Copies of this chain bind each other. A is one copy, B any other.
Amino acid sequence: MQVGMVGAGRMGANLARRLTRAGHGCVVYDSDPEAVEPLRAEGVPTTSSLAELVAGLTTPRVVWLMVPVEHTGGVLDEVAASLDAGDVVIDGGNSYYRDAVTRARELDTGGIHFVDVGTSGGVYGLQRGFCLMIGGEPATVRWLDPVFRALAPGGVDGAAGSRSNGQVDGVGTAELGYLHCGPAGAGHFVKMVHNGIEYGQMAALAEGLEILQRAGIGDGAGVRPDDAEFYGYELDVARIAEVWRRGSVISSWLLDLTAGVLRDDPQMEGYSGHVADSGEGRWTVQTAVDEGVPAYVLTAALYERFSSRRDRGYADRVLSGMRHAFGGHQERQGS
């Protein structure tokens, strides 16, 4: 099945490669002409305009958008203008799930089918396959099955299969690594929560590693003198991450990667520590609040990213000011 891929960034390019390797025709466009060069060199067909991409597809067309969330709306409008009834647009990016609901409704008036696909796998997706969470009309999703099957890890022989403990049967396509989750927006909803969990997993691991890294502070950092003798360990954080990969309860793919990073840079001095967040962590928290779910951990993980990106926020300075006011404590600028 032919797919027009819009966006040749890390994710889009690897989706195109994986489709091509599976024998699906895939044509790629990116607003940055240089972005498609590596694919062209590999023999993947590319175009120099969106119009050309759309014009060259067999109908009913399938256009997969894999662009940064802030551009998705604009690109989608442009693509939709040149599509016909019966064509399909897939948003595979990290869009807000409510946008999928709205977009599906709007496109439906012109007979265009909209499918939202949460796509996980990062830069390893080419090799491992991508985990796909899909929202849209059942018939359209079913029709796209060959595309999803080609992109997903593909079952017990796939990257994840070897870890299965025999728990793989009876869950339909889920065990192949893709799942039709529900109507429009359901794919992005599930991906949103996936990323919220990802933030939590990452933060849990990062916090724990810092506790290890500081195990030798002695009486520093406010440790009571009586307790200083218990803070004398000089732990090898990189080796500990490695050993945890082997049979422990917390073994995970994120730990696998983290162990690799730590081996190369145990003090992590090459990394800035300004941790970005995409929208999904935020929307997960706002959704939890709407639903009345006390998502302490997912929220704390998001807030740690906020904290990581700033130097002494207004709230911190207010606290200094209060302490000065009631206790005469000096935490003034420059001190």
Chain B neighbourhood of A239, CB < 8 A: 171-172, 174, 179
Cβ-defined partner of A246 (8 Å) among B101, B152, B254:
B152
- The answer to whether A247 has its CB under 8 Å from any CB of chain B is yes
Check if B304 sits within 8 Å of A211, measured CB to CB.
Answer: no
CB-CB under 8 A for A246 and B207, given A96-B224, A271-B321: no
- Closest-by-CB residue of B relative to A274 is B331
- Within 8 Å of chain B (Cβ to Cβ): is A43? no
Cβ of A313 to closest chain B Cβ, rounded Å: 6
Interface string of A150-166 (1 = CB under 8 A from B): 00110100111111110
Please report which residues of chain A, range 173-215, place their CB below 8 angstroms from some CB of chain B when the two chains form the complex: 173-179, 181-183, 185-186, 189-190, 193-194, 196-215
Residue pair B273, A331 in contact (C-beta under 8 Å): yes
| A206-B318, A239-B171, A287-B211 known; A101+B245 contact, CB < 8 A | no
Q: Is the interface of A mostly helix, strand, loop or mixed?
A: helix
Contact of A230 with B98 in the complex, beta carbons under 8 Å: yes
User: Shortest CB–CB separation between residue A134 and chain B, in angstroms?
Assistant: 9
Q: Which B residues lie within 8 Å of A287 (CB)?
A: 211
The residue of chain B having its C-beta at the shortest distance from the C-beta of A321 within the complex is B261
Return chain B residues, CB-CB under 8 Å to A279.
Answer: 222, 224
Contacting pair A332 B178 (CB below 8 A): no
Q: Which listed residue, B133, B172, B209, B222, touches A318 by the CB 8 Å rule?
A: B209
- Are B202 and A201 within 8 A (Cβ)? no
A258 within 8 A of B: yes
Give the contact stretch, choosing among A49-57, A78-86, A322-330. Answer: A322-330
B294 near A307 with CB under 8 A, answer yes
Interface residue A257 (Cβ < 8 Å from any Cβ of B): yes
Q: Interface range on chain A: under 10, 10 to 19, 20 to 34, or 35 or more?
A: 35 or more
- Interface 0/1 of A250-292, CB less than 8 Å to B: 1111111111111101011111111111010010111111111
A304 to chain B, nearest CB (A): 6
CA distance A245 to B324 in the complex (A): 19
Q: Determine if B331 and A198 form an interchain contact, defined as CB atoms under 8 angstroms apart.
A: no
CA distance A133 to B238 in the complex (A): 13
Q: Which of B176, B189, B229, B269 contacts A333 (CB 8 A)?
A: B269
| B320 A182 Cβ-Cβ under 8 A | no
Q: Is the CB of B260 within 8 A of A210?
A: no
Q: How far is the CB of A70 from chain B (nearest CB, A)?
A: 8
Nearest 4 pairs between A and B by C-beta? Answer: A200-B204, A273-B312, A252-B252, A177-B246
A269-B317, A294-B304 given; name 6 further pairs at CB < 8 Å.
A120-B250, A132-B243, A167-B242, A250-B253, A252-B252, A274-B312
Pick 6 A–B contacts, CB within 8 A, sort by A.
A133-B243, A171-B238, A174-B246, A211-B295, A250-B254, A293-B306
